Amino acid sequence: MLSVAKTLIRAGLMTILAVPAGAGTLDTVKQRGTLQCGVSENLFGFSERTDQDQWSGFDVDFCRAVAGAIFGDRAKVTFVPLSAGDRFDALRANRVDLLSRNSTWTLEREAGLGLAFAGITYHDGQGFMVMKDLSVTSALELERARICVETGTTSQLNLADYFRTNSMTFEERAFPNAAEALAAFQSGQCNVLTRDQSALFAERLKLSRPNDAIILPDIISKEPLGPVTRADDFSWFTIVKWVNFALVNAEELGISSANADEARTSHKPDVRRFAGLEGGTGRMLGLDDNWALYAVRAAGNYAEIYERNLGVGSRLGIPRGLNQLWSMGGILYAPPIR
Amino acid sequence: MQHQRTSHHQTSVGCKALAVIAWLSLTISLADPAAAQAQAKLSQETFEIGDEPGRISTEEVIISDGPYARQMVFFRSSEAPGTVVIHTSERFLYVVQGNNRALRYGIGVGREGFQWSGLVQVSRKAEWPDWRPPPEMIARQPYLPRFMAGGPGNPMGARALYLGSTVFRIHGTNQPETIGHAISSGCFRLANGDIIDLYGRVPIGTKVVIRHGASL
């Protein structure tokens, strides 16, 4: 009797305290018929919205891949633009199912906020933009450089650390915001500008002569960006995590949005498992066995998503760098789908 | 010198002869509707462009802008500095620099079906190589010259790096707009100014790793 009552009470508490976990995010999403995905309000290459309410970008495409895995339909996403200040509260309050919003994975955000980063989709980090006429190809050649930086940012602290660690000196020119730092770089008050590297590529496009500046390959800090879920729904977290792995595995296996249907006729065991012909991985996730192929069909594999929004096919032209497969000079490494 | 000319002649024939095979396979595939569809898809990614002997491209021509411009990039590699790594699917050639960096060049690569992978060494180097279109190619394009001395109007461009005993090489081009595309018969082409820069960095004996993406 007592134990039954306890169970009932516990069940009741669960319902009150953890409605989303009880219902399950996947079930909620399926019932609603659309994925609610939190994205940036407007961030070049990562999340952009046209006048016709069309969304595009690296983070946007990840949302589409998740929608593809669940519904087999890239259009079943509702994009929810969120400011940097609102984003985690919105996720915790169930206003979105998933955050794909240029967010850096840190311990505080997981242990402190009760969130779970489902992986790293983009390895960003602080870099340097220099005028070409400075003729440097490495950050280690920046001895005595005049460097523009935004005041009160981690970039300012990382900059000081980096030069101290490498026994080099520099002249700092600090500005209250990014726009002023860029203007100072353009006008020659400094010959180096430092920020997160992905932002530097976007800033370079704002210069009157973008080709006069280059971005050095060096990265001096860690800014791992990735999708975030609530920590109280492990099955949902697992789905989001494996969609990310699927996109990377697809690139490695040569599966793209252009040949996704041909993958079904492959004789290679790992391609067949990816395509859901063997292994039954979809059922384990609560999805269709075609989930991985659907994700790729919805958004493309990792390389397609990268090149379309940030790389060769985009205005930004950011080299793959760290965000290249482990076997091709980068550090992307996805566990196998089996 | 005479020996060099002979080996150049043979290499030239081999490399260009593949173009004829490509043309034949294209013709055959067009007869089959399914293959034709695949070919139509393919032609969006590649572009058909013939050689244009006589069109001038000087040694000053480099790719100066965008991702295909020569630039230092982050590149993790266990290969020794100096090694050349070619990623055909990316259309990039890397010269490993050590310290997780590489000098990256934009290249034109082989059409689908003419992309290959392997491990070779630079076996020979030549400045302003001559061009001798093979008989098959002349039969198809009768207007082509039988022999064309090396120079700014030569499709082989300003420099050539011969790859082992294969028929392939890394060479310049008088069509710099083809950089970033898949149009060749398996050779790798750079803008003339860029192949000259590469030529100065790559001695005979340099290890060249050619990788292309996985296939289904």
CATH code: domain of residue B21 = 2.40.440.10
- Chain A, nearest residue to B96 by Cα: A329
Cα distance between residue A76 and residue A242, in whole Å:
19
Cα distance between residue A122 and residue A226, in whole Å:
7
Residue B14, pLDDT > 80, answer: no
The residue among A328, A331, A332, A333 with the most chain B CBs within 10 A of its CB, best to mutate, is: A328
Residue A147, SS3 per DSSP:
strand
Confidence at B32, pLDDT banded by 50, 70, 90: very low
Provide the pLDDT for residue A58.
Answer: 98
Average predicted confidence (pLDDT) for chain B: 78
Number of domains in chain A: 2
In a domain, B216, yes or no: no
In a domain, A337, yes or no: no
Residues A239 and A213 in one domain: no
Residue B143, SS3 per DSSP:
coil
In a domain, A335, yes or no: no
Residue A6, pLDDT > 70, answer: no
The residue segments making up the domain with residue B117 are 2-48+57-211
In a domain, A311, yes or no: yes
Last residue of some domain: A221, A252, A283?
A221
In a domain, A333, yes or no: no
A184 has a chain B CB within 8 A of its CB: no
Residue B108, SS3 per DSSP:
strand
Provide the pLDDT for residue B114.
Answer: 67
Mean pLDDT of A230-248: 98
Provide the pLDDT for residue B49.
Answer: 63
Contacts of B25 (CB under 8 A, 6+ apart): B113
Residue B187, pLDDT > 50, answer: yes
Max Cα separation, chain A? Answer: 82
Q: Supply the DSSP symbol for B30.
A: H
Closest by CA to A317, choosing from B199, B5, B180, B27, is B180
Provide the ipTM.
0.81
In a domain, A178, yes or no: yes
Q: Which tokens in the block code for residue B98?
A: 């050590």
Q: Do A147 and A194 touch, CB atoms closer than 8 A? A: yes
CB contact under 8 A, A218 and B74: yes
Residue B52, pLDDT > 70, answer: yes
Mean pLDDT of A294-312: 97
Confidence at A71, pLDDT banded by 50, 70, 90: very high
Cα distance between residue A151 and residue A33, in whole Å:
45
Q: Which residues of A touch B75 (CB under 8 A)?
A: 217, 321, 329
Backbone angles phi, psi at B35, to 5 degrees: -65, -35
Q: Tell me which of A1-15, A225-239, B15-29 is least confident.
A: B15-29
A255 has a chain B CB within 8 A of its CB: yes
List pLDDT tens digits, range B74-92: 999 999 999 999 999 999 9
